[in-house]
Structures are given as structure tokens and as C-alpha cells.
Amino acid sequence: MTPRVGVITFPGSLDDKDAARAVQLAGGESVSLWHADADLHSVDAVVLPGGFSYGDYLRCGAIAKFAPVMEKLVDAANGGLPILGICNGFQVLTESYLLPGALTRNDHLHFICRDQKLRIENNSSAWTSNFEVGQEILIPLKNGEGGYVADENTLDELEGEGRVIARYLEINPNGSRRDIAGITNARGNVVGIMPHPEHAVEKLTGPTTDGLGFFTSLLSSLVKTGKVSA
């Protein structure tokens, strides 16, 4: 059975179709989820895509947290459902307390769109298992509020538990503490990442196809955990 991966569209989501395309290219079936949905339509995993949910008014991700679908999502996350938050999706995950810390205005105060080099730090999460630790990848980054911050204890804890999944290499593009580009929860099923793996899935339109690894990792993890058959 093909794994079914939900992609949530909030009003103002922009990269939802890109996320769906990435899921399909990796071999999954993408399922559109709507912010007002009352349930998750029995999907095997969920992607929270990039964009400006609810215009990012008030604070990035702050309003999306209250969308009806989020209530079910938080429960599912705590039950182990694999969830990937990309950019605005990462912001929604921190606002929803599924991941610690917060994303703040880039230190240089400009929106930035660039091809960003990352180093994979953790390959035990549901979304990074097909990478090697230490592997360098190049995927697009595009954000205005991507500076990852958390208090020193949290940062120490994330590093101590190996929960930093990727760090910025060469340039820290937004002032993130300790060059952190992405993190996971303790269980390894919820991952937030600021750069955009879904924009690096085809040679034609992306700088590389390195982003595909996040989505193939998910499919491998689902097989490994027996959620879907190989």
C-alpha cells in the first residue's frame, strides 16, 4: 500500500503544492488536508508547508496554531505520527509547542532566498533516516523570520540529545543560534526545518535533488515501523 502523506493547506499556505509534488516524487500519495478539517483522514504522516499562514499577522504561525485541524494534529504528534514542518510549518510547530524554541526576524532584517548548504546532524528521525550523519546537502532557503532561538538550557539539551537535525554551513543566513537549521522532538517523529527540501526534488527546478531525502526517509521509516508494507 502506498503511504498516504497529508499536506495541510492553511489560508496563506504557499508551498503546499510543492510539498505534495515532493511526496509523490518520493513514491508516496499526497492527501490535501484543509485547515478547517475536523480530522486527519487517516494519513500516515503530515507535512506543514511553507508560506504565510493567515498572512503571518500577529506572529508567524501564531494564528495557524488555532486552526481546527491542529487540535487533531497535536494529539497525533504525541501519538507518534511523523510530522514535518517546513519554514512556516516549523513556525507553526514551535507555536504549537510540538517543538521548543522560536523563529525570529532574520538578524539582517531582510527576506533572503538562497541556495543553502546544510550538514545533516541526525539520521535517526523519521524524516532524516536515509541521510548519513555529516552529509552535506544544498537546498533552497527563503524566509524573513528564520532565526532559530531558544534559551541556553534548551539549546544544550537539543544538542546533548542529538536533536539538532541539520546546521547551516558556510553562512548562517538568518542569525540562528548555534547555526541550527532544523530540530526534532525527543521521539524523532516531529521535525521542523527552516530551509525547503521540497524545492530541491527535481534537477530542472532546484539547485539539487538533495531535498528528496527527507521524503524518502519518511517512506523508509513508515516501512520500518510497520505502518505500511514495503
Which one among 3, 61, 140, 188 touches other proteins, defined by CB under 8 A? 140
Q: Which of 65, 117, 119, 142 binds other proteins (CB under 8 A)?
A: 142
- Grid cell listed for 110: 531582510
Nearer to other proteins, 136 or 156 (CB): 136
Tell me how far apart the alpha carbons of residues 72 and 69 are, in angstroms, rounded to a whole number: 6
| Cβ at position 100, least distance to other proteins in Å | 27
Q: What stretch of H or E contains 90?
A: helix 88-95
Query: Quick one: 132 or 170, whose CB is closer to other proteins?
Result: 170
The residue (of 63 and 99) whose beta carbon lies closer to other proteins is 63
Q: Is 60 a catalytic residue?
A: no
Q: Per CB under 8 A, which of residues 87..116 are in contact with other proteins?
A: 110-114
Torsion region of 202: left, alpha or beta (phi above 0 gives left; psi -120 to 50 gives alpha): beta
CB of 47 vs other proteins, minimal distance in Å: 14
16-25 and 212-224 are packed helices; what angle lies between their axes, rounded to 10 degrees? 60
Beta-carbon count within 10 A of 79 CB: 9
Task: State yes or no: residue 205 binds other proteins (CB under 8 A).
Answer: yes
Dihedral, 122, 126, 128, 131 alpha carbons, nearest 10? 100
Q: Counting contacts by CB under 8 A, is residue 202 touching other proteins? A: yes
Exactly one of 87, 95, 145, 199 is catalytic; which is it?
87
Cα–Cα distance, 188 to 122 (Å, whole number): 10
Using the rule CB under 8 A, is 175 a contact of other proteins? Answer: no
In the window 2-61, what residues touch other proteins (CB under 8 A)? 11-12, 14-15, 17-18, 21, 50-52, 54-57
Report the length, in residues, of the chain: 230
The verdict on 65 binding other proteins (CB under 8 A) reads no
Q: Is residue 230 near other proteins by the rule CB under 8 A?
A: no
Number of residues this chain uses to bind other proteins (CB under 8 A): 30
Are the beta carbons of 99 and 92 closer than 8 angstroms? no
Give the torsion sign (CA, 185, 128, 162, 224).
positive
- Is 198 a residue that touches other proteins (CB under 8 A)? yes
Question: Which residues does the annotation mark as catalytic?
Answer: 87, 196, 198
